[in-house]
Amino acid sequence: MNLKGQVAIVTGSATGLGAAVALKLGGRGSKIVINYTKSQKEAEATAAEAKAKDVETLLCQGDVSVDADCHRIVKDTIAKWGRIDILVNNAGTTKFADHADLDALTADDFLNIYKVNVVGAYQMIRACLPHMKKQGYGAVVNVSSIAGVTGIGSSIAYAASKGALNTMTKSLARSLAPEIRVNAVCPGFIGTRWFSDRFGEAGYAKIVEHAKDSTPLHRAGTPEDVADAVVFLCAEGAQHITGETLLSDAGHHLTIAGVTRR
């Protein structure tokens, strides 16, 4: 799990899962790029936490749905450290909408979600590709969701975008080998402000309890839980793994698939 000296870009890493991934990678010796779109103060706080642990950091503002921003993030990374070893495509967005209410989503909603969740990941990989190919090594981890496997989630558009991201992971794993490994991690529920901001503290607490009751492992996931899975796919222990979609959801997908607990 030693990643000393490797350079890792983590998109959407100001808060939540992205911040946890960045800090975990930094704890394994990586130099980390903390990317944010709007959450500058939170990104600065995450960078300060990393620096307090003697982790080299670079703060990069940029919207991954904008191709020019993707290239700028990569350019700034190369200018500082001269290489890119790891890319974690964590940046994501959604719109909450009842799956049965087809009028709750517009074509623009689909396009906006796809621009970040699918196209943004593609653009970041494309921007990093020449540098990873040149050095003969690269590890890409796309942060997807069990929504992309089971069809559940915050909205149909979100689930569909994550399904597309899973398929793209396999396509790119095949086409970018042997130099670059491409994998995906599919979290289930994880306790972040994404839920607490929307549902409030009381609603959030109910969601946490439901997650514990409805999973075989009786656990509500944390950002650190999923970050461990991401870091594993970045590290030496996963050198023989590519094109994999790893579900990190306390077994929630088993209950959705119709397997009942006794």
The enclosing H or E element of 87 equals: strand 86-89
How would you class 196 by CB atoms within 10 Å of its CB: exposed for 0-12, middle for 13-18, buried for 19 or more?
Answer: middle
Integer Cα distance of 51 and 46 in angstroms: 9
- 158 part of the active site: yes
Q: Which of 36, 114, 158, 204 is catalytic?
A: 158
Axis crossing angle, helix 16-27 with helix 40-52, rounded to the nearest 10: 20
Which residues are within 8 A (CB) of 73 and not within 5 positions of it... i.e. 6 or more apart?
A: 9, 11, 33, 35, 60, 62, 124, 127
Q: Phi then psi for 140, rounded to 5 degrees?
A: -115, 130
Q: For 143-182, b where at least 16 C-beta lie within 10 A, e where not — what string? A: bbbbbbbbebbbbbbbbbbbbbbbebbbebbeebeeebbb
Structure tokens at 191: 């306790």
User: Which active-site residues does the annotation give?
Assistant: 158
